[in-house]
Every structure is written in C-alpha cells, then in structure tokens.
Amino acid sequence: MCAQANAGYSGAYMDCVDLADGKAFVVFHPKGTIPTASLAHIVERIDAGADLVIASRMAPGGRNADDDQVLRHRKWFGLFSGAVLWLRFGRKRGLPRVTDPLHGIRGFSARFGRELRLEPGLVTADLDIVKQAYLNSAVMEEVPVVEVERLSGKTNFPTFRTGRRLVGFLFS
C-alpha cells in the first residue's frame, strides 16, 4: 500500500508501474464481485507469455452481474467499447477482439506495463491499455470470470459523466 502520487484512475496505474518491482502486475478491485481465484489464472497466462490478461465477464464461460436483467447497460457498453477498440485498432493487425476492455481486473507483464503511456487524471486507463496493446501488437488474452452482484458500497464512477468521457476516448 502507498499513497497515490498521480491523480485519477490512470494515475493509479502509473503509480503501480512506477513503484512495483517484479515480472508482472495484477490489478484487482476487492469489491467481492469476482472470485479471487481468478487472479491465479491471470498470473498463469502472463507466465505463459501473455503481455496483457483481462478477467472477462463476456468471454465464453464468463458471466456479467447484469445477465439476469432485461436491460444490461453495463454489459452492452462494455461489449460496444470492445468492438469499437477492435475495429479502430485491432482488426487491421489481425488481433483477437477483447470482449471486456472496461473490466479493471487485469494483469500485465512488467515490460508491457513500463511501455504504457497513460495520461494522469483521466478515467480512461482500462480502454487506453487495450488500445495501446492493439497498437503494439501485444499478446492479449482473456480469462472468463463469473461476476456476482456487489454486496455493499457503490462505484466511484458516476455512470453518465464517466460514460461520456469513455465515449469521448473511444472516438478521439
């Protein structure tokens, strides 16, 4: 644990890369919605050579907490974001589409982490990391995870304000 030096969500990733040592970074938000066992799968895939591994609620075998809802805004926005990133940056390179680019539970190799160029103070780190992985033809994998409803607490990302910023990033 340490005090965050760089502002914003993107700044937290920058601090992680700057302060940690080791061969990989795993980012996990302990909200109780994802089994912690998924972290071992992320590390296994990085050890096997992946540059970026995302715990995906959308991949085959995964489940989004919204799946029981009639309207699945979070899920649909995540799938939409993944499609836009892939169409803009991954398709021409023949890279596989990331299905869950907004899921913050992810890991990356130390080399890939040190190559990241994130702008501090923004909330777009999750999308920017996938974009940079596409642009650098990084080896990306997803591991399926089953998400359950959050038991307590609430998000720090107001839906409409954050969504507007994320859409702005997708089309910038």
Contact 133, 19 (CB under 8 A): no
Residue 133 lies in a domain: yes
Task: Scan for tokens 């994130």, then name that residue.
Answer: 118
Q: Report the chain's C-alpha Rg in angstroms.
A: 15
Mean pLDDT by 10 residues, the chain (172 residues): 81 87 86 86 96 96 91 91 96 95 93 90 89 96 91 65 85 90
Residue 60 lies in a domain: yes
Q: Which two tokens stand for residue 171?
A: 């089309």
Residue 1 lies in a domain: no
Residue 10 lies in a domain: no
Q: Write down the pLDDT at residue 78.
A: 92
Residue 65 lies in a domain: yes
Residue 58 lies in a domain: yes
Residue 17 lies in a domain: no
| Boundaries of domain holding 107 | 24-149+157-170
Q: Write down the pLDDT at residue 155.
A: 62
How long a stretch of residues is the chain?
A: 172
Q: Write down the pLDDT at residue 153.
A: 62
Residue 72 lies in a domain: yes
Q: Which two tokens stand for residue 34?
A: 């994802």
| Total structural domains within the chain | 1
